[in-house]
């Protein structure tokens, strides 16, 4: 029963992780639209106040950030995270129902074969396995319920959730930060005596 509870939690964690990935890819589309529209509009509006090189750097940053955001968003949207999250959630609910039935089984209810068969079918119908981080978080959540050292278990759970967030959002951070960093380097390269430096 303990193992089934861990699998149930891992499946729920996978569903939540995939929902966050879907939200991040939707945000990538929004950033592509905002950066691709607002920054060129800003450059056009203040073209007389900007040096030609500054205008070119801002245009470069806007186009590359917008294009990369759109590309990453399209690639991530093609992975169909909502459908995968739904399958993981449905599987977790079915395993949870089996865990409840198992916990209510009396001492003379030794015929576990039908429950095991239903458990295996639920996993098979899901079609894929959760990631290692989902299972690690599930074990940390279980340990938090059972641990005497609740603070240590809480810290471990926070550490794992931070790793999970990093695996979800690192691509977007790199996609948005890299063109801006290149733009700053291009701008500083032409203006080495700039007071901003």
DSSP state of 50: S
Q: Which two tokens stand for residue 91?
A: 């599987």
Q: What pLDDT does residue 107 have?
A: 57
Q: What pLDDT does residue 192 have?
A: 55
DSSP string, 102-160: HHH--TT----HHHHHHHHHHHHHH-SPPPHHHHHHHHHHHHHHH-S-HHHHHHHHHHH
Query: What ranges do the domains of the chain cover?
Result: 2-131+171-190
Q: In terms of pTM, does the model score above 0.85? A: no
Distance from chain centroid for Cα 108: 45
pLDDT along the chain (197 residues), means of 10: 90 95 88 82 85 85 87 89 95 92 69 84 91 94 83 91 94 88 82 50
- Given a contact cutoff of 8 angstroms between Cβ atoms, the answer to whether 153 and 138 are in contact is no
Q: What pLDDT does residue 190 have?
A: 63
- Given a contact cutoff of 8 angstroms between Cβ atoms, the answer to whether 140 and 157 are in contact is yes
Q: What pLDDT does residue 197 have?
A: 40
- Given a contact cutoff of 8 angstroms between Cβ atoms, the answer to whether 62 and 36 are in contact is yes
3-class SS of residue 71? helix
Q: What pLDDT does residue 196 have?
A: 46
């Amino acid at each position: 029963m303990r193992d089934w509870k861990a699998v149930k939690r891992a499946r729920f964690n996978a569903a939540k992780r995939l929902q966050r990935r879907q939200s991040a890819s939707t945000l990538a589309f929004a950033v592509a639209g905002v950066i691709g529209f607002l920054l060129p509009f800003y450059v056009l509006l203040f073209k007389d106040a900007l040096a030609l090189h500054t205008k070119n750097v801002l245009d470069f940053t806007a186009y590359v950030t917008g294009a990369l955001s759109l590309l990453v968003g399209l690639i991530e949207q093609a992975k169909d995270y909502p459908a995968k999250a739904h399958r993981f959630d449905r599987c977790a609910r079915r395993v949870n129902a089996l865990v409840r039935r198992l916990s209510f089984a009396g001492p003379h209810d030794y015929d576990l074969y039908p429950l095991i068969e239903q458990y295996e079918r639920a996993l098979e119908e899901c079609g894929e396995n959760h990631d290692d981080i989902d299972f690690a978080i599930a074990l940390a959540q279980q340990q938090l319920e059972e641990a005497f050292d609740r603070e240590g278990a809480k810290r471990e759970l926070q550490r794992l959730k931070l790793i999970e967030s990093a695996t979800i959002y690192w691509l977007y951070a790199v996609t948005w930060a890299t063109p801006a960093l290149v733009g700053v380097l291009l701008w500083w390269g032409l203006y080495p005596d700039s007071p901003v430096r």
